[in-house]
Structures are given as structure tokens and as C-alpha cells.
Structure 1
């Protein structure tokens, strides 16, 4: 599925560590397995850090074996646990973390997570001589420099499964349902789900929603016989309660919509085959990049090939929603 680069080993490692950080995403376990198995096959010891950067600061590092990652590819979440660590934003705490790793003889670190986690990885690489490689693990698919992120495909399919069931009720009661998916700052998930679900409308943070126009479109669909029921996919957005506010505004225009918040159900569940292959490939390649002398990079996907992206660019730039894809989502409901 992916084109893997051939990298020449340039340095040796006695031990590396791997952690998962921030919001969990389906596929983190296959990624961890990829790192562990690839490193062990090169004679490198691997430590699993529990609960992300919080566990690193607490010194909760556990030596892993091949058996440690047996039968985990089908499991959602992360066996290493995860956390959001505000303390890691302080330079003195990062210095403590580096010393903890060095005391264990660890020379390299693989960080699996979203933009906040990769920011922490970049800081570690800049402030120490540790070799640090990041992997994009988030259901939002909003990481710059990679076409795909670990967990995105599974989250899309989880939302689709729920929407397919909701549509049965919408049709039976001739109502519209506003289905909220995750995406505080990004509409990738909502747009893909909207297209795949055949939604009547998609609302994303990148584009302003005109509620009057939306209400008129729903009324016109009912009058023209196109349908008196349907699905409107809404990204949660930056302000809590957006979907309920949209529903209330539609009621004021004579509609009678219902709201369904999918919430954290999108983070859980068995990773899809796509995410298992993606995560396994990225995890194994992270070790190859470390051995090839790379540091301060993220390993991602570009046009079907595994590539390295400077972490400085990853955290500096924002991956934008393809406007043509969003236009397609709007076009197909007309």
C-alpha cells in the first residue's frame, strides 16, 4: 500500500523509548508494535513510557519484549495509556525528562500523537542530543506534512456506522438529524463523513454557516419532493454547543431537527485495516529513520510514499481543508 524508502543505517542505538500522547486514536497500538518489533529485530532495547509525557516525568518506563506487543493490533486505544501534560511545556521539566531517559541509557524516542505531542517532541530534539521522531496519531487528520494520520480512517467508519443507523430513524419520522462529529479546528473528519454518508449538508469550522440559507434549502427539498428527512454533519467547532444552537435556529425557521452527538465513540473501537497497515508502516519506519541518523522529524505519508517532514514545519504550519473536497460535499446533496 505504501512505498517505503530504503535508508542506510548510519548509527547504533542501545535503547530507544516510545510513548503515546494526547487524545488516543485507533491504530496507536499497531504503531507501538511496529516500533517495538522493528527495534528488537535490530538488537535495540525498547522502553514503553506509560501515560505519555506525564509518565516520562514520573519515570514510568517499562522494558518491552516481543510478547509485550502480541495480539494488540486489533485493540483500540493505546496499551501505553495517554495523557495531556501541561507540565511538559516548562523547559525545566523537559530537562528532567531528558535526564530520566539518559539515566536509562535511552538515546532515541518515538512520539505518537497530534500537534501538541509533536510540539513536545520538537522541543526535546532542539534542547537535547536525543534523537526524536514523531508519528501523526490523531483522528482529525489535521497534521501538516502528511496526507493521512493514524486513526482517521477508523473514525470516519465509526461515524458512518452510527449515521447509517440514525438515517433509519430520520426517514421513519421524516426529520432531519444534526450529527456532530469531532473537529474543533478542522473539518476533515466532517467532510469525509458527510460525503461518505450522503449527507444533505456539512458544517465545518473553516467555512461560515448561513443558517437562513440552510433552512431555506431544507424547506425547498421538502417542497420539491427531494426529501423531508436527512443528515446534516456538523464538526463540533471551537465553541461548545454549536450543534444545539444550529438546531434551535432551524426550529425558529419552522424545522423540527434532532441532535445526535457522537462524541468520544469516534476515538474508540478496533482500528480499520487501513489504519493498521498505516500505523505498522510508520512505526517500523520510525526506527529506520532513527538508525539512518534522522532526528527532529515526523514520519508521514505523501502521495502513497513514506516521507520525513521536519517537526519545525509540522508545528509551524496548518494543514488546510481541501476546498474542492468541501465543494464536492456541498454539490452532492443538491
Structure 2
């Protein structure tokens, strides 16, 4: 393999830049030419492809987001769009592609792989719901950003005898809410997979108040039906129903934009290098992930269209620890 291209796709995740850096420099070390694709699969279609050298990826390891940019592409879902992408790759003499992203991104990688083009995916999503890896690039940082907010709110909550609703990202997956809620000692954790209705949240907060707690934390994922806005509206009917004064904080995209933690930088570096190692050995059509300290490869056919569920034991653990 003489030349490869790298793209980032879907939602950005802290550590993507570290993965780009690692893949670029690893490929250059093996004598490959490296191309960066701007704006994900849409950039492949529009030929936003330029060559990268070692200096182009300098000074980015500590930065959140992706300097290549990311975008969702409806056109790539069509056969005509994928054909344009393949023609542009051929025009630049590119022999292989590294796709850094989550579920939708790896489904796109699988589509190209089925057409015979060598593709290797790199597991990167803050939701950590990608099948074929224990942990994904960006999830550790996102959990820690959420946890930091919980810790700050707990402090002010104790001062004013308040309960705080903390809404974090997670449209379809509650990994961030579950992990940050457990680590932050939340009284209630509500996720799309295991939703706690507003009435039950009220009951749990009232019970916490009656046990003598001076504050309470409720962590919810954005994808739940009873989100922070609906819960506040429910509680407005009777402000005395929980004992605590109730406030809400919606974190939103702030969890994506933080500088990656040391772990996410390390993980991204390992996976970026692993992707190039796979391509150089003629291995493609796989997702490079991380399991038990090792870089592993899982066929994209087993990854595309699948998600990794939250461990149900965590739900029971959260209930026990909220006493």
C-alpha cells in the first residue's frame, strides 16, 4: 500500500485529532503518502482531499474536535454518491482509507468495503456504544466533563438545599449519563434504555429529602422522553412534592469540545497506529478497537448497524448506591 486517506465522520469526539496525528505519522514512517479528507464522506464526494505531512498534524494532540472537520452526508447513502467517492480516491491514487467515527461512520466504511475498497475503521464516539470495542475514543473525556459539572452542582446544591437535574448528551444511548451519574453519586439516573418517569423521580427525590439529604442529583440523557424541560414542568404543579428546590443544567455539546483526557489521547494514538498496521498487512474491512489492553480488529460486517447496550448490572448498582 503506497498511499492512504484519513477522514473523520459523524459527531466529533475528543481525541479524534490525536488519532489523525498517529495514523498520519505512522503511515509516513512506513513510506506511505497520506491524504486528509475534509468534512467526512461529503468531502470524499466533493474531492476535498489534500496531502498531509508530519507538520500538518503537529500541535493538535491536545485539541478537541477534528481539524479535518466532520459532516453528515445524505448523498453518500446513495450508490451514486459512493461511486463519486471512489472515483476521487482513484484520481488521487489512494489505496486505502481510515475512517474515524462511530456507528453511522462505520456503516459507511462497511459500504465502501463491500465495493472492494480497502477500509479500516477507528472506534470513536462519546457514546461508547460501538460494537467491537470495550471503549471508544472520546467517551472518557465526555464522562469526565459531565462528572465535573455534577461535582460543581453538588457543592452549590448543598449550600442551598437544592436538587439539580443534569442533562447530558445521549440521544439513543445513556452511557454518559450512567457512568457520570454513578461516579458522581447521583440519586437518580435516567437513560433511553432504562428511563425513569418524572413521577418516580419525584418519589425518589422526596424520599432522599426525608432521609435528611441536603441536596440531590438527577442525571438524565437527552434522549429520554421525560427530559429536563418536561420534568421541570411536571414539578411546577407542586413545588413541595420533592422538598428540594429544583434546578436544571443542560450540558449539551460542551461535553464534545473539551481537550481529550490522557486516556483518550493514549487510546487514539494506539488505535490510529493500529489502523495503519492493519492496512500495511493487507487487512481491511475491519474496525480497530480496544479490549483488555490490546488493539483488536472486528469485521465491519459485524459492527455495522449494531450497538453495544448498557450493562444492566449498572442500573441495579445505581439504585443501591442512591440510598
**TM-score if structure 2 supplies the norm length?**
0.95
2:32: which partner in 1? 44
Distance, in Å, in 2 between the alignment partners of 1:59 and 1:41 is 26
Q: 1:98 aligns with which of 67, 82, 86?
A: 86
**Aligned partners of 1:251 and 1:257 also within 8 Å:** no
2:18: which partner in 1? 30
Tell me if 1:306 matches 2:291: no
Cα distance, 1:166 vs structure 2 = 1.6
Distance, in Å, in 2 between the alignment partners of 1:48 and 1:140 is 25
Is the partner of 1:118 in helix, strand or coil? helix
Distance, in Å, in 2 between the alignment partners of 1:248 and 1:232 is 15
Q: Using the TM superposition, name which of 311-320 and 260-269 deviates more.
A: 311-320
Distance, in Å, in 2 between the alignment partners of 1:165 and 1:273 is 22
Cα distance, 1:238 vs structure 2 = 5.5
**Aligned partners of 1:39 and 1:46 also within 8 Å:** yes
Distance, in Å, in 2 between the alignment partners of 1:263 and 1:216 is 27
Q: Map 1:185-264 onto structure 2 (within 5 A).
A: 185-225=172-212, 227-237=213-223, 239=225, 242-252=227-237, 254-255=241-242, 256-264=245-253
1:6: which partner in 2? none
Tell me if 1:173 matches 2:153: no
Is the partner of 2:107 in helix, strand or coil? helix
* 1:207-237 CA distance string (max 9 Å, x none): 1314333222211221221x14211000111
**Aligned partners of 1:139 and 1:150 also within 8 Å:** yes
2:270: which partner in 1? 281
2:96: which partner in 1? 108
1:7: which partner in 2? none
Distance, in Å, in 1 between the alignment partners of 2:272 and 2:289 is 10
**Is the alpha carbon distance of 1:100 and 1:107 closer, same or farther for their aligned partners in structure 2, counting shifts above 3 Å?**
same
**Aligned partners of 2:205 and 2:216 also within 8 Å:** no
Q: 1:290 aligns with which of 276, 279, 287?
A: 279
Q: 1:66 aligns with which of 24, 40, 54?
A: 54
Tell me if 1:80 matches 2:94: no
* 1:224-253 CA distance string (max 9 Å, x none): 21x1421100011155x7221122223435
Tell me if 1:131 matches 2:118: yes
Is the partner of 1:78 in helix, strand or coil? coil
Distance, in Å, in 2 between the alignment partners of 1:197 and 1:208 is 18
1:323: which partner in 2? 312
1:10: which partner in 2? none
Is the partner of 1:244 in helix, strand or coil? helix
Q: CA RMSD in A?
A: 1.3
2:149: which partner in 1? 162
Distance, in Å, in 2 between the alignment partners of 1:43 and 1:224 is 66
Tell me if 1:153 matches 2:152: no
**Aligned partners of 2:119 and 2:285 also within 8 Å:** yes
* 1:164-199 CA distance string (max 9 Å, x none): 222222122211111001111111111100011111
Is the partner of 1:185 in helix, strand or coil? coil
Cα distance, 1:270 vs structure 2 = 0.8
Distance, in Å, in 1 between the alignment partners of 2:216 and 2:210 is 14
* 1:258-311 CA distance string (max 9 Å, x none): 111000000011100000000000000100001111111100112222111111
